[in-house]
Structures are given as structure tokens and as C-alpha cells.
Chain A
Amino acid sequence: MIRHIIQREFFDHLNSLRFALTVIIMAALMVTNAVVHLQSHPDKVRHYSENVAKDRDTLQSRTELYELLRKGPGKLYKQSSALTFIADGGDAFLPNRGTQSWGSWSRTAGFGSQVKSIWSADYPTANPNARDLRPKATKIDWVFIITYLLSFIPLLFTFDALSGERESGTLRLCLANAISRPALLTGKFLGTLIAILIPFYFAVLLNLAVISTDSWTELGAADWGRLGMTLLIASGYTSIFVAIGLMVSAGTRDTRVSLVVLLIIWVALVVFMPSTLGTLSTKWMSPVQTAHQRETAKRSALDQINDDFDKQMMDKAQPQTGGLLSQLMGLAKTSPKEAEKLAKEKQAELMAAMAKAESEKSDEEELRIQAELINKDVEIRERLNREHLRAQLAQVQRARVVTRFSPAAIVQYALESMTGTGLKRHLQFLDSVHLHIRQFRNFITETDRADTESPHIIGIPEGMSKKSISPQALPNFEDKITFSDTFNAAILDMLLLVGLLGVSLLGAFLVFIRSDV
């Protein structure tokens, strides 16, 4: 019996105007998507491989260990997924590399010698293109097509499914026969779902056919797996809206009322909630530090270690100058004029002491103090940078949790994770960047340890191995997107989607069973 209902529903839809319009719009959008992808993707791939090659070349041109430490592991580019046509994931906003150039400094230490800063990880800011004047628009990727159209079209297919039959009286006729209500509902649900998914899958095939002509997009086995999951997610999402449509249609007597209610649910859930809830939720979050606050915090922390360094250096110079220097420094803080006077008086004595210190300088302990300053500087900068980035990303993640009230947002996040774009992927990328930085530093320490002639003081040129390094030995940064990573990232959203589907189906059944015919 159910099969019969499904068949009837399906053929009814097949002959309708809405079916024809759905086919046209789906096909047009999917083909556009593929064509745009064909135009833009080769550039992206080329840019990435050029950047990576450039990065590797500059890294391998550095043969000395200290130079490596001073200039860092390179920019560490993010590989763009082959499936960006499915989900763009805010490509324009997320940075495409892991690190950016850092502010280097140098300062005097003791008498005449200079210490230079070494590389510390700094993150490029999001939204690199603040000068983009082109009008705002959403990219037409699969996410756009799925979240907007595969929610809108089910409503247009279902708004009169039950209320229309009730109006025309066929519903009563139907139920007068030996058809149970659940069977009728299931039949309608499946018939409509198939009628909607057929144009979608047809359009997807068109899309893939166009994309497969592109030699720049190589889809591996894992990518096909991702594609399959994407289609599954899309089907689940469509079923949710079919169920919602049936639920409202079962609960209303007038098709027009049912349509209006559905459209309003749609506007709220799909158009406004994903963005409004996101920005609304940030209102109750603790704000991220402003640039000014961050700068002050960094300054004070760095001043602290620099003061400590000065003090240590002075303590070391103490024996030679006989306490004169610290006396001068102390005076300079309270009364600069007197300090100047004293310095003039004892100029000869001071110069002699300085010359003596100069001749004895760069003993190992001094080097260690310098190295300590440099390493602490790196540590503080990296800690603050990382804290700031973490605070920013945590805000976005919390906002995303709130937007998951909307199934459109859930699908968007699931597809982004699945295709390897968007925030989740960026987080994974950052993890591998951090891992690489650690490996890079370990490599430097290990290489230095292997050299018996080196004094093993990491951070300054005199304290490190002078042997040249073979470029092959350098740890290589390779950014990869693995299937298990993407699947794990998407699993929560997929479960949510299944839950929502269950709830909406149950709702539809309950409403229909309790409604009068």
C-alpha cells in the first residue's frame, strides 16, 4: 500500500510546475558552480604550490643552524581542499598561512655587544583583504545551494500536501479506505523526498561531469567518500524540511496559512538565524583584548624581562667597575644631573673598567644570560600571540554553538568540516602548524647537541653549532587533509542533524495523527 502512495505522490510532483522549475534552477546553479570552480581553482592550486616551493627554497638556502633559528620555519602555507566547490568556508576571511613576519629587534647588551631577537610565531590576522571594494555576496557553492534551496523547495512541495487534500476533501476519501495515517504520511514523505532529490542528484551529476574535465582537480578515493557523505548530509537536511512541511501542513486547514507559516519558519531558520544568532551571542561574551590593550600587556611583560636582563648584566659587570656602575644607575633614576656629574668625575676610571670588561666579555655565563633573554622574549611573544588567537577563535566557536539552533548552520558546518574548509579545518591546520614549529625547534636542539664543539647555548650565534646542515635533514611541513580528520570534525553536526530529523518526523506524525480530517 505504501508503495502505491509513494508512487502516486511521486508522479503527481513529477508533472507539476514546481518540479520543472526545481530542475531548471538546480541545474543552472550547479553548472555555474562548476564553471566558476574551473576558472578559479587552477589559480589557487598554482599559488599554493608556488608559495610552498618558494618557502622551501628560502628555508633550504639557510645552511647555518643559527640562521635557521633566527629566521624561522617559513610561512607554512595552508593547502586548499580539492572540494572547495562544495563549501567555500569563508576562504576570503581565513588566513592562508600559519605564520607571518615577526617584528625583529636588536639591543645593546653590556659593553658594545649586540643581541638580536630570533623568530617567534606570530599569526596572520583574519580578513586579510580589508581593501576589497567589491559588493558583498555569498559564494554559490554547494552549501549555498543546499542550505537555501533544499530547504525552500521542500516547503513549496509540502505546504499543500495535507492541507490541500483536506481542503479538496480527498484526504477524507483516502483515510476512509483501509490506509492507516502513518502509512499515508510515510508515503507522502518518501514520495516528496524522492521528487526533490532527483533534480538535486541530477544537478550534482551535471556539476561533477563539468568538474571532472578539469585536470587541476584530482579527486582521490577519500574525496569520493567525502562527496558521498556530503550527499547523505544534503538528503538528511532535505528530509528535515520535508518533515517540517508535512507537520505544518497537517496542523493547518488553509493552504495559504500553511504556506505563510512555513515561509516564516524558513526565513527565520535559514536566512536570519545563522548570522543573527552568531553576532547576537557575542554580545554576552567577554570581549577580546583590543590592539591597544594587547600592545600594553606585551610591552610590560617584555620590559620586565629586559630590566631583569640589565640587572643581571650589571651584576656581572660589577667586579670590574667596582660598584661604580650600579651606583651610577641608581643615581640616574633619582637625579639624572648628579649622575651626570659623577660620571664626568670618574670618567677615566669608568673607561678603564669598561675596557677591562670588554676584554673579558663573552664568557659563557654572559652568553647564557643573553640567550635566556632571547628565549624568554620568544616565549612571551608566542604565549601572548597564542592566547590572543585562542580568545578570538574561542569566541567564534561559542558563537557557532549558538547558531546550531538553525539546521542550515549545522549543515554548513558539517559540509565545511567534511570538505576540509572553514573554521574546523583551520583549527586543525593551526594544530599541525604548532606541531611543526615544535619539531623544527627540536631539530635545531638535536642538531646542536650532536655537535660536540658547540657550547650548546641556543639563541645566540656564538653559542651554537657552526656546522652547515644538509637541506634534506630539515623537517618538512606538509599540510594534509585526511579523511578521518574531516569525518571526526563533522560527526557531531551529523548526529545533530539525525536528531533533528527524528524530532521533525515525530512531530509530523504526532500532529497528523491527532488532527481532525
Chain B
Amino acid sequence: MLHTLIRQELLSLIVSARFLAAVVITLLLAVANTVVLIDAYENRVASYSQQAKVHREKAVAAETYSQLQLFVERPPNPLSLLSTGLEKRLGTTVEIYHGEVPTISSVSARNLENPYLNLFSQIDLVSIFQVVLSLLALLFAYDAIAGDWESGTLRLVISHPVRRGTILFAKYLAAMVCLLLPLLMSLLIVMLQLSLASSIQLGATDFLRIGGIIFTTIVYLSVFYLIGLLISTMTRRTATSLMLCMFLWVVLVLVYPNWSRFTLNPLGDMRAERQSADQQIDQIWEEVDREAQRFLANSPLEGDPPRFNIGYSGSSTSSSRRYGFNMTKVRANSEPSLPHFQNYQAFICATHIRAAEKVGLINEQRWARTTIRQATWDERLMKFSPASLYTFATSAWAGTDLNGMLDFIGVVQAYRQTLIDYLHDKDAFASRRWFASDQGAVDWWDLPQFRFTRADVSENAQRALTDVSLLFVMNLGLFMVSFLIFIRVEV
């Protein structure tokens, strides 16, 4: 019986105009957007590799250790085509040096080609499904029961020895199959497009992630179908059911996420928090300065830091607390003070590293307490809408969510530690090559390479789990309620 019911529902849905129209529009939008997205992605890959090359050349060009300017670049994530998340909004370049522990605030976005184009919001594939397919789900559902009721077929069906739950279930299954078809078809074509673009290489784990995104999409669409079904069982007229569905869709998909983000501000003003962190950081650096003074008081070095009356030819660069020297030739009369200068450099670098770690901790806390907390709260509040739940879940799968970005920061921090270890191994801070290249320039052949690999699939799955399970719970709840209403309804 269930079989017959499903087949009949399926046939009536597939031949309907709404199904055809939905398939056409989903395919059209997906294909057109993928063309744009692939192009943008290729640009980003090209810019990434070029930047990486420039950074490498810049690093290797340093003749002394202190001159090293090391930048690392976040590689573009191919899954951002499906779900953009924060991928394009945040910067990609971070400078690595011993005197600063990188945080989110150290990421800069200076190699964007034309940031004015951000005025146009970019649309990823997931947002097409989010908007079009959820609308389609409601269009399938609004007359599922109310329509049968109006035309009288409901009475006819129920007069057969078939349970009401079975009817509901058959309708649900048939509609889900019809929703899956445009989804899978467009994804198939998108995959084809992706495989034709040479710059995009998807690994085996990426397909697992895409699988996760598909699964999430199904659960999401099911939520919307069940919302429609619930409304349809509650109302007697298709016109009423339709209006309720449409307005609810507008609220859930269009209005609520934007509304909650701009209206609800549960954390209030966080300026005080930021200021107190700034003060603490200032204190730490003042303490560093005092320590340096104490050290210099017992040292025969004279003159203002950082030059100490050392006569040399060469160049020096400085930016807050950071000095890069390249003494290509040291005058003979300055030679005796050089060991002291070496000592001082070793001391000051060690102090800076220690202070930087303290500052890093404070910064980390400050960011965790302010911006990151704010972002998480925004997300939490937005998650009252299944549409936002879906966006966050998919970006968690793709690794373009907030956690994915924080992963990058973690890797960058670890890389800074490797760099410091490397410099320690070479005894660079206390060496003459820290500031002088008169005895030969530094050879950077074994400078550790930066490599960023995205989090494991299982990690992605874990991050998406809460949102997916919330969607799942919504599904169960909605189905239960519509089932309960439907068995009590008088036909």
C-alpha cells in the first residue's frame, strides 16, 4: 500500500509545473554561479602562489637574521565554492616574527585585487539550495493535505484500509525524492564543471565533506517540507496554507537571520574589555623597556639603542620594537663593542619572545572574550532559523567557518614556534650574523617551510554535528506534531 501511495504521489509531483520549473532554475543558477565561482577561485589560487613566491623571495633575500621578513599565506579552500563562509572576508597574509604571537588581528588582506567588488554579495552553491529548494519544499507541501482535503481525495484515500501515518509518510518520502532530484542533478553538473577546471584538486576527504554537505542539505530541506506539511494539516484551505507557508519562508530565510544579527546584541559594549587588555599589553612592553634599561646600565654599550655608537656601513630598518640591521662593514674601532652588542641582542630577543608570549595570551583572551564571543553569540541567535543552521553546518563541513579560520591561526602560531626553534638551533640571536653580514650572508636553505592543511574530516564532522543534529531534532518534532494533528483531524 505504501508502495502504491508513494508511486502515485511521486508521479503527480514529477509531472507538475513546479517540479520542472524548480529543476530548471536550480540548474541554471548552479551552473552560472559555478562559472563565476571557479573563475574567482582560480584568481585566488594564482594570487596565492604568486604571493607565496614573493614572500619566499623576500625571506631568502635577508642577509642577516634580524632582517628576515617572513610572511605566510593562507591557501584558498576549494570547498569554498560550495560554502563560502568567512573564507573570502578574512585576510590571508600573516607576518611571522619572534616578537609577536599572531592572532586573528595579525591577518591582513592587502593583496585583494578589488575590495570594492565586495559591494556585490557573492553567492555560493549552498545559498542557492538554501533559497530555491526550501521554497520548492514548501511549494510541494502546502497542498499535500489541504489540497487533498479540498478536492475530496483525502476522504477517498482514507476510506481504504490504510493508516493515516502511512499516508503522511508516503507523501513525505515522495516529496523528498522530488527535492533530491534537482539537488543531485545540479551537484552532478557542478562536479563536472569542477573536474574540468584544472586548478581545482579535490582529495578523497573532500568528497566526504561534500557528502556531509549533501546530507545536511537533505535534512534541511526535510525541515522545510515538514513545516509545510504541518501547516497543510492544520489548515483546511490551500489558499490559507499557501500564504502561511510563504510568509513563514520569508521570515525564516530572509528576515530572521538578518534581523537577529543586527537587532540582537546580547554582549553590549565591549570597549572596556578591549581597553583593559590594551593597558595590560602596554604594561608588559614597558616592563620590557625597563629590563632593557637595567641590562644596558651594566653594559659598556653607549648611545641610544639600537645603534650604540657602533660605526658601520650598511642599512637598518625599524618598526615598533623591531630592528633589522645589515652591517655590511663594521669599523675597526667599533669591533670591541660588538660582543657586548651580541649579548644585548641575545638578551633583548629572549625578553621579546617571553613578552610576546605573554601578550599573545592576553590577546588570545581578549579576542576570545570580545570578537569571537560576539561572533559565536550571533551564530547562536541566528540558529533559531533553520536556514542559518544550514549555512553554519555546511561551512563547518567545508572548513570555511570560524573554527576553520582559527585553525589557520593555530598553525601559524605553531610555525612561529618552529621558526624560533630554528633560530635557536642556529644560535642566531647571539650570533654576529644577527646584525652583520660582513662575514658572509645568512644561508636560508633549511628555513622551515610553512604548510597549512585543513582540519581532518572527522573534525569537520564534529563541528557540523551540533547543527545537523539540531536540524534533525526539528525534523522529528515537526513530523511528530503533524502526525498527531493529522490522526486527530476530522475528514
Instruction: Check if B258 sits within 8 Å of A290, measured CB to CB.
Output: no
User: In the docked arrangement, what's the CA distance between A280 and B40, Å?
Assistant: 10
Q: Does B319 make an interface contact (CB < 8 A)? A: no
Q: Does A245 make an interface contact (CB < 8 A)? A: no
| Chain B, residue nearest A254 (CB) | B17
Q: A276-B29, A276-B123 are in contact. Are A263 and B116 (CB under 8 A)?
A: no
Instruction: Check if B247 sits within 8 Å of A25, measured CB to CB.
Output: yes
Q: Does A418 make an interface contact (CB < 8 A)? A: no
Instruction: Check if B109 sits within 8 Å of A280, measured CB to CB.
Output: no
User: In the docked arrangement, what's the CA distance between A292 and B371, Å?
Assistant: 31
User: In the docked arrangement, what's the CA distance between A133 and B91, Å?
Assistant: 11
Instruction: Check if B105 sits within 8 Å of A131, measured CB to CB.
Output: yes
Tell me the smallest distance from the CB of A203 to a CB of chain B, in Å: 13
Q: Does A442 make an interface contact (CB < 8 A)? A: no
Instruction: Check if A93 sits within 8 Å of B32, measured CB to CB.
Output: no
B108 — which chain A residues lie within 8 A by C-beta?
Answer: 130
Tell me the smallest distance from the CB of B218 to a CB of chain A, in Å: 21
Instruction: Check if B109 sits within 8 Å of A127, measured CB to CB.
Output: yes
Q: Does A149 make an interface contact (CB < 8 A)? A: yes
User: In the docked arrangement, what's the CA distance between A466 and B18, Å?
Assistant: 80
The 8 Å CB contact of B242, one of A257, A259, A396, is A259
Interface-facing stretch out of A54-62, A265-273, A362-370, A377-385? A265-273
Instruction: Check if B378 sits within 8 Å of A134, measured CB to CB.
Output: yes
User: In the docked arrangement, what's the CA distance between A464 and B427, Å?
Assistant: 53
Instruction: Check if B259 sits within 8 Å of A32, measured CB to CB.
Output: yes
Instruction: Check if B262 sits within 8 Å of A271, measured CB to CB.
Output: no
Interface-facing stretch out of A135-143, A173-181, A323-331, A481-489? A135-143
The 8 Å CB contact of A280, one of B16, B32, B111, B382, is B32
Instruction: Check if A138 sits within 8 Å of B121, measured CB to CB.
Output: yes
Within 8 A of A (CB), among B10-34: 16-18, 21-22, 25, 29, 32-33
Tell me the smallest distance from the CB of A145 to a CB of chain B, in Å: 9
Instruction: Check if A126 sits within 8 Å of B115, measured CB to CB.
Output: yes
User: In the docked arrangement, what's the CA distance between A339 and B281, Å?
Assistant: 51
Instruction: Check if A291 sits within 8 Å of B120, measured CB to CB.
Output: no
Tell me the smallest distance from the CB of A134 to a CB of chain B, in Å: 5
Q: Does A17 make an interface contact (CB < 8 A)? A: yes
| Chain B, residue nearest A133 (CB) | B375
Tell me the smallest distance from the CB of A401 to a CB of chain B, in Å: 13
Instruction: Check if A131 sits within 8 Å of B139, measured CB to CB.
Output: no
Instruction: Check if A263 sits within 8 Å of B139, measured CB to CB.
Output: yes
Instruction: Check if B116 sits within 8 Å of A395, measured CB to CB.
Output: yes
Instruction: Check if A135 sits within 8 Å of B17, measured CB to CB.
Output: no
User: In the docked arrangement, what's the CA distance between A390 and B128, Å?
Assistant: 33
Q: Does A501 make an interface contact (CB < 8 A)? A: no
The 8 Å CB contact of A127, one of B112, B250, B262, is B112
The 8 Å CB contact of B243, one of A18, A264, A276, is A18
Instruction: Check if B18 sits within 8 Å of A260, measured CB to CB.
Output: yes
Q: A127-B112, A275-B122, A280-B35 are in contact. Are A136 and B117 (CB under 8 A)?
A: no
Q: Does B240 make an interface contact (CB < 8 A)? A: yes
Q: Does A287 make an interface contact (CB < 8 A)? A: yes
Instruction: Check if B29 sits within 8 Å of A133, measured CB to CB.
Output: no
User: In the docked arrangement, what's the CA distance between A288 and B113, Å?
Assistant: 6
Instruction: Check if A279 sits within 8 Å of B36, measured CB to CB.
Output: yes
Instruction: Check if A267 sits within 8 Å of B258, measured CB to CB.
Output: no
Q: A267-B131, A271-B131 are in contact. Are A423 and B114 (CB under 8 A)?
A: no
User: In the docked arrangement, what's the CA distance between A403 and B120, Å?
Assistant: 10
User: In the docked arrangement, what's the CA distance between A62 and B165, Å?
Assistant: 83
A313 — which chain B residues lie within 8 A by C-beta?
Answer: none
User: In the docked arrangement, what's the CA distance between A156 and B391, Å?
Assistant: 27
Q: Does B104 make an interface contact (CB < 8 A)? A: yes
| Chain A, residue nearest B105 (CB) | A131
| Chain B, residue nearest A127 (CB) | B115
> Can you report 23 A-B residue pairs in the complex whose CB atoms are below 8 A from each other?
A21-B247, A25-B247, A32-B259, A93-B119, A132-B89, A133-B375, A133-B402, A136-B89, A140-B255, A144-B258, A148-B250, A256-B16, A259-B242, A260-B21, A267-B132, A268-B25, A275-B121, A279-B123, A280-B36, A282-B114, A290-B111, A395-B117, A396-B119
Closest 4 A/B residue pairs (Cβ) = A278-B120, A137-B261, A130-B109, A127-B115
Interface residues of B (CB under 8 A from A): 16-18, 21-22, 25, 29, 32-33, 35-36, 39-40, 43, 47, 50-51, 54, 86, 89-91, 104-105, 107-123, 128, 131-132, 135, 139, 143, 239-240, 242-244, 246-247, 250-251, 254-255, 257-259, 261-263, 371-372, 374-375, 378-379, 382, 388, 391-392, 402, 405
5 further A-B pairs in the complex, CB-CB below 8 A; given A93-B118, A126-B118, A279-B123: A134-B378, A135-B388, A137-B261, A140-B259, A393-B116
